[in-house]
Amino acid sequence: MGLKIWLNDKLVEQEEAKVSVFDHGLLYGDGVFEGIRVYNGKVFEHEAHLIRLYKSAKVIRLTIPMDLPTLKKAVEETVKANRISDGYIRLVITRGPGDLGMNPFLCKHACVIIIVDKIHLYPHELYEKGLKVISVSTIRNHPMSLPPQVKSMNYLNNIFAKIEAVDAGADEAILYNHQGYVAEASGDNIFIVSDGTLYSPPVQAGSLDGITRQVVIKLARQEGIPFAEKNLTRFDLYTADELFLTGTAAEVIGVVEMDGRIIGDGRPGPITQKLREKFYTYARA
């Protein structure tokens, strides 16, 4: 039995979930999206994800044809219809159908798509052993081209970085901004631990303001772990006591090698492990 997909204003069968070939989301990557987790049948940090979605839409001047409470209800209805207890939501707002020109204002009706399905995670052993990552030559989008805080459907910047990582046999790619500072991984935010203090690049360095990132910072403060936002360089990552990534799919996962250099003692560190456990408990509470 197929999934039930929310399309515009109602649930439809998976086979009926079709969009126009003239949709500017397809033609130009013109739209925004959110990836959201479901734990024990509950939508994780639902409000925070939707607020970020509406902010992204505002930046690209895309009008979402539902107010936030109505969209929230549609997401919950889609989760319930698919009987997903632990899974993943892909919430997409495209510019909608128009013509072959780029003018977005000729697209009269934005398209709302909500998909709820199971999620493919990192293998369990990687959470115990840690990831191997590389620096890539692809730099993060310049903030004067497309603000990295916009979670847009045009994900080629991240995909280019992921291609480099896959080609090199690495688990993830580390992107830098146009100034040479650490921005983020291709699909995750970055944290390091140095001399007992937790650091993460500010979103102004070119990272998405991750929802998981926000939760991890809150949990660290609850645990009394000192935290600061700071522009980081490759030197800071190479010499960190611990390095870990956070994201909707990844949750909290340690990095043990970067560009052939061993991080810390080559195992996910104690603060990484503590925050991973705290996040696991928090998310499923």
Are 201 and 182 in contact by the 8 Å Cβ rule? The answer is yes
Residue matched to tokens 């970055």: 190
- Beta pairing class for 4-7 and 10-13: antiparallel
Q: Catalytic positions, please?
A: 151
Are 31 and 86 in contact by the 8 Å Cβ rule? The answer is no
Helix/strand/coil for 114:
strand
- What tokens does 214 get? 């926000």
Alpha helices in 110-183 (DSSP H): 124-129, 156-167
Short-list 257, 263, 265, 151, CA closest to 209: 151
Q: CA-to-CA distance for 17 and 8, rounded, in angstroms?
A: 10
Q: CA-to-CA distance for 97 and 251, rounded, in angstroms?
A: 35
For residue 243, the cross-strand partners are 192, 255
